[in-house]
């Protein structure tokens, strides 16, 4: 039989191995935000969070005046070509609002409508040069 001290040491070692294994298995999705001059900021996101919320939580300048209720276009982003086709298609409602966005491109989307998952880890989006700030209206 093992002494109480030996048993406690064995338990601690097993707990350490188990704890370190679970920490290594966690994947945090990241989003890369670029500005028009090419500067970028990589932010950690939460699975299920929108691009708009990830930006706002990390000090990236996306307004999101309607708070993600798909009623404005102030969270307009331009999705990198390599990522655009991986996204769910835009809804008709989103397409209508994108028509109001400044600097519209074929890869434009509303950041409030892009839900981040592990499959989008590394997603790259560019903030357009021009935005329509709702406080100016």
Q: Which residues contact 28 (CB under 8 A, 6 or more apart)?
A: 44, 45
Q: For residues 101 and 73, is the Cβ–Cβ distance under 8 A?
A: yes
Q: Which of 20, 45, 21 is nearest to 32 (CA)?
A: 45
Q: Which residues contact 2 (CB under 8 A, 6 or more apart)?
A: 10
> For residue 17, is pLDDT > 50?
no
Global pTM? 0.76
Per residue in 32-89, pLDDT tens?
A: 999 988 899 999 999 999 999 999 999 998 999 999 999 999 999 999 999 999 999 9
CB-side neighbour CA atoms (13 Å) of 33: 22
- The confidence band for 130, taking pLDDT boundaries of 50, 70 and 90, is confident
- pLDDT at residue 131, rounded to an integer: 65
- pLDDT at residue 27, rounded to an integer: 75
- The confidence band for 3, taking pLDDT boundaries of 50, 70 and 90, is low
Give the domain ranges of the chain: 26-136
- pLDDT at residue 7, rounded to an integer: 42
> For residue 104, is pLDDT > 70?
yes
Mention the CATH class of domain 26-136.
alpha beta
């Amino acid at each position: 039989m093992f002494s109480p001290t030996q048993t406690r040491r064995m338990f601690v070692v097993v707990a350490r191995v188990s704890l370190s294994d679970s920490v290594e298995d966690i994947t945090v999705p990241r989003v890369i935000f670029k500005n028009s001059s090419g500067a970028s900021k990589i932010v950690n996101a939460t699975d299920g969070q929108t691009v708009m919320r990830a930006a706002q939580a990390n000090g990236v300048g996306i307004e999101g005046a309607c708070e993600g209720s798909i009623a404005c276009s102030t969270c307009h982003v331009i999705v990198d070509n390599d990522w655009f086709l991986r996204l769910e298609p835009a809804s008709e409602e989103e397409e209508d609002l994108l028509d109001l966005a400044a600097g519209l491109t074929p890869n434009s989307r509303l950041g409030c409508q892009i839900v981040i998952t592990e499959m989008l880890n590394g997603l790259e989006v560019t903030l357009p040069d021009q935005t329509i700030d709702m406080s100016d209206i």
